[in-house]
Every structure is written in C-alpha cells, then in structure tokens.
A and B are shown apart, each in its own frame.
Chain A
C-alpha cells in the first residue's frame, strides 16, 4: 500500500495562484492526483482551473482542510514565506485531523526559519514534513496515482521498489534505473538537500521496511552531514529488505557548497568516501555510478530470492 501517500490521497496546494503552484497543479491533476483545492491568503472564494477540473481557493489552511478533508498539502510559496506556510499547515492539520503530510518544494528558505518550522512540526506528532528544497513524493498507481511535487510523472510506474533521495534529478535517475530492469516503484521520496529538513532517511527506511508493497529500497545520498552514516547504522540493525545505495559528490572539493545548501564537506566530515564506507559496512549494495543502480538492484533482488 506504499507509504504515507495513498494513490487516492486528497491534496491542497499552498500558493495555488502563483505561477509554480498553477503549473505544477495542472501537472499533478493530469497525473491523477486528487487536488481538492488550494490556499492563497486574500484570494479565498475564487476558483482555479487545473487541467480538467476547477478547484476552490481558500484564505487559510484551517478553512481549506475543514472544507475538503484533505490528507496532504504541497507548498509552492516563495522562500520568505515558506516556513510560515509549513507551520500554518501543521497547525491546521493538527487541529482538524490530528494528522497530515506537508510537502515543501520551495528552495532557498533561511536555515533558521527551518529550525523553527521543524521544531514546530515535531511538537505535533501526527504531522509529517517532507522537504524543503525537494522534488516531493509520488506513489504511482494503476493508470495514474498520487504525485505531490515537481517530478516528471511519466517516468514512474507502480511497483515494489522504494526510492529515497536527497537530490531531485538524481531521484529521477534512480527511478529510470529501476525501470531499466523492469521494476516499478512503491513510493519515491525526495527528502531535500537542505541542512535542516523534515523527514529523514531513517524515517523512510523504517516505513519501507514496514510496507508490504516494498521489497527493496534505493537510497541516494550526497556529501555533507552524517545522515547517510546514521541511516546505514540504523539499517544494519533494523532492515531485512535489501538496499542499493549511491552517494553523489566523490569529486567535490572540501569547504565548497555544491549547489544544495547542505552539500558541503566541512572539517573533513561529510565526504562521499566515508558515506560509501558506512554503506558497505552496513551490507548495503553499492553503485559507484548512478547508471549502475539498475544492475546492482538486479543482483540484490536475485540474492534475496526476489527475481
């Protein structure tokens, strides 16, 4: 049954009247996502056409969830206001339903804003934040599914491989690799490349381990921090399903920020070499080249008696 997002989850778009919100709103509806409305303060009462449907705009998340019973929201709000949008969604989901999934796509949110927002979300145990600075989450279905974010829908197919990644475009690369050996995906999650974010690798691995649809996981990390090492250590103790791992940034020079705010090797810590070593020690199947992920996954599935 995939993780966190079902094929028929109901979605709200925060920032629905902006160009990003509208553009990706259409793409999500075309894919099959059940977009039930959106929020832009001051534009409540209007409606917006997204592909073949017309959805209502609300002034607040509280109003929107009350009216639509939404399960999740996606945020396409500019950086100065994005952390506030996360907290508004967390507050509203918590009050109305006691649970909800918030996916924040926005890139460039100040780190200290995220420190506050993540702390706010964590005070509300039923609320899950994915991102920010991420492609989102997708659960492919039979002829459609639920796509929340900016990933190209057409590259995915329903299947049994879970995908989790810090990077957007590398997630697509990993998806294409699973498809190259005839495997589809249960759920794909981009957790984002910022130093402070919501859902992490371990949350995803733990959910994939518990998910019946998922039989194996592809995990894509990158330089910076120790999230990959922590996840590897956790997986060694807790995962029965095979994992295929890749880490981007083997050639990155120390002390330089490589695009993502979090992708920086500081004080000799956070190198790709350390992360690959941690993967290896945890029994994770390693791909040194993203174009090899398919082949390595195939071997892992064969070894586990799944092919």
Chain B
C-alpha cells in the first residue's frame, strides 16, 4: 500500500526525521494561503500521486489531452508562480515514466518551503528478500534514477544490512554517513536521522522508504526533500491509521472491491476472464492462455477454501469487465473443494445470466462431485481435464488464437 509524499513527510516529522515546512492543498486558494503562511520566498509546488518521476512528468487536460504544463514539481519564486503552477497541476492528468500513458489525475498538492542545498543524496530502506533482512542503501548520486546509478556506477551505492536481533548499530550508521563523505555536524545529523528512519520503518511495517533526494543544506543539516513510503499490507491488522492514509482514488476500484471480498484481482487488457485458486496457478493460467494465442483479461486468485458467496463475487467481478468475451475457470482443489466452485458457477449463471462462453477445468479435492454437478445441470459450458485443454478451448470459442 502506497501513501502520498505529504503523508510520508508527516510520519517523518513525527519520528524526528527532518523535513521542511509544507502544507497539503486541494485547491488553488489553499495553495496561495499555504504560500502566505509558509513565509518562504521560494517554495516547491509538488503534484501528489502514487508514482515516481513526477518532476520530469507532463500535465495534460483530462478532456482533450492537450499538453498544459511540463514538470509535475515546480519551483515558485512568487505568489503569481504558485497560482500558475497550482492551476496547471490540479484537476489535470500527470503522465510520468511510472504512470504509463494513461497518467493519473492530480487532486492533491504539497506546497513546501525552499532551502539552500549543498548536496543531494539518495537513501532507501527496504526488505532484502535474498538476505532476509532490512537493507539500507545510500548514494552520493541524489536526484538521479537509482536503477541507472546501480547499472552505471554500482560503487557509488553503499549498503548496510540490519541484524533484526541487534537492530541498527552505531558503527553501521557512522560508516554509511562517512561513505557518503559526511563529516562534522552533517555526519552527526545523518547518524541521528538514519536511526530515526529505521525505527519508523519497523514501527510502521514499511515495505519501502525511499528519499530521493535527501539533502545536506548549507547549514550542514540533513533534510528529506522527498518521501516515498509504502506499507506491507500483511501488517494492516495492527495499524488502524492506515485506513485514513489510504487514497482509494489512486487504486483500481475493482481491485479494491476484490480485496475487500478477500480475492486477489489484477485487471489486465485482454478478453479472457480467469477464475483460479492459488496465485501461482492463476499466473500459469494467464501464461498458458497467452501461449495458445489468447489474452487474459485479469489475474484472479480466489484463495484457499473460498465459499460459494466468495466464488460468486469473483464471477461477478469478471463479468462486469466489458472486455471479457469468455471465461476460463481453472481449479486444482487442495483446501478448495471443487463442488463448491461448481455450485457457485451455477448460482451465478442463474442470477446474472451468462452470455459468454465458459470453460471449466476441475481437478483435485472433490473434482468428481464438482463435475457431476456441472454435468447434471443445463449450464452451457465446456468441461475439460487439463489446463492446456482449457486454454485451447476458450481461445477457440471466442474465435481468437493463432
């Protein structure tokens, strides 16, 4: 789960990680009031969306797609600048390297004081799955695309892994700071800051915290000019505040609905709906559809042990996608009982009507019962025994394939 920069900076502030004064705004009037209240001659006017590359992105009109402004993060030197930039950003579509060509509608702004920058750094914390520990990564090449730095100058990236039992140790903080070339007051400030940031990472069950750039000011202070924070959704049960931080407008509404029903759903661009149990099998089902010349309309994992209501909800979600021209149900029952899926399919086709071809593959726990239920009904569908047969059948039925 991602949050906005202004929300991440509030977490930083509370944890003692230095950030500049700033105000979250949703209108041009609020942006102007923010400029007046900050009392800083120079401010940054920053688009708030859940994607990176904002500075180099472009803003487009949502109605006719005309280019309105270059750059989603602007430096304003006057009240007039703030008005111009806020007007150019709010209510418009920001397209960046990470949003894809459709871009994202900007409804939130962050107006932030300026500061005198001496140097820009990069700092990130994430869980390293190979080392199975929290990795802190820092580089002197701030403000740049870190993937590029990793490719071209890997020696410029410094890494520290935290032993979960011992925590982040003093020598690790000091060595990392010195590797960045810091000394004196700046080193001391970095030492304190990186400790606070690690505590924040753990206390908030973060998946990633990325600060690009982290800066040293001319007064030798270490300040986070950016805050990209994402949480580990598995830990939601112990963070009641995440509900307030979640911006549903940044998420695909169908995915949110599926999530609430306990389903994993990702919308794709194809026309064959898939209903599968298990994430690996759901991915493999998409892959095999593609191998047979079709295009999957979605990833959908009903999980283990789904009841009839959950399977029905999954079916409804698939059928609501107007692109879907056919459906492949692929179940290999472990915890999941095939008869439950069969009953749910019948119920949905009775309630909603089924106007697209349906192919069903049932295997594993209670597959005989499941197939018997389908065979005894007057449901129009093709029953198959393997995934490959299923993919071939559905691709053939919708008239696609090679």
Contact = CB atoms under 8 A, between A and B. Distances in A.
B278 A167 contact: yes
Contacts of A150: 304, 334-335
Interface string A281-294: 00000001111100
A144 B217 CA distance: 69
B236 to A, nearest CB: 9
Interface of B is mostly: mixed
Given A250-B290, A258-B282, A80 B129 contact: no
A110 B234 CA distance: 5
Nearest to A195: B129
B234 A261 contact: yes
A115 B282 contact: no
A109 B205 CA distance: 11
Interface string A123-140: 100000000000100000
B304 A170 contact: no
A173 B276 CA distance: 13
Interface of A is mostly: loop
A34 interface: no
Interface stretch (B101-109, B130-138, B173-181): B130-138
Nearest to A220: B280
Interface string B324-349: 00000000111100000000000000
B278 A251 contact: no
A263 B309 CA distance: 27
B374 interface: no
Contacts, number: 176
Contact of A258 (B98, B299, B388): B299
Interface string B288-309: 1111000010010101100000
B387 A173 contact: yes
Contacts of A267: 147
A67 interface: no
Contacts of B280: 165-170, 193, 220, 222, 248, 260, 263
A252 B334 contact: no
Nearest to B388: A291
Given A79-B234, A110-B205, A173-B284, A258 B266 contact: yes
Contacts of A289: 287-288, 291, 387-388
B294 to A, nearest CB: 10
A248 B284 contact: yes
Contacts of A109: 234
B132 A170 contact: no
A290 B284 contact: yes
Q: What band does the interface of chain A fall in when counting residues whose beta carbon is under 8 Å from B?
A: 35 or more
A252 B299 contact: yes
A288 B301 CA distance: 21
A13 B264 CA distance: 28
A196 interface: yes
A259 B333 contact: no
B387 A111 contact: no
A102 interface: no
B291 A288 contact: yes
Interface in A196-224: 196, 220, 222-224
A29 to B, nearest CB: 16
Nearest to A108: B234
Contacts of B388: 289, 291-292
Contacts of B288: 289-291
Given A222-B283, A253-B266, A268 B334 contact: no
Contacts of A172: 332, 334, 363-364
A259 B282 contact: yes
B39 interface: no
In this complex, the member of A151, A152, A262 whose beta carbon has the largest number of chain B beta carbons within 10 angstroms is A152
Nearest to A246: B284
A176 B281 CA distance: 13
A150 B334 CA distance: 6
A259 B19 CA distance: 35
The 6 closest A-B pairs by CB, nearest first: A167-B280, A259-B279, A169-B278, A291-B388, A110-B235, A169-B281
Given A119-B165, A248-B280, 17 more contacts: A80-B237, A110-B235, A115-B132, A115-B134, A119-B164, A168-B280, A169-B280, A170-B278, A170-B284, A173-B332, A196-B127, A224-B129, A225-B130, A251-B268, A251-B290, A261-B233, A262-B129
14 contacts: A110-B234, A110-B238, A150-B335, A196-B127, A223-B283, A227-B129, A248-B281, A251-B296, A258-B264, A268-B147, A289-B287, A289-B291, A290-B387, A291-B389
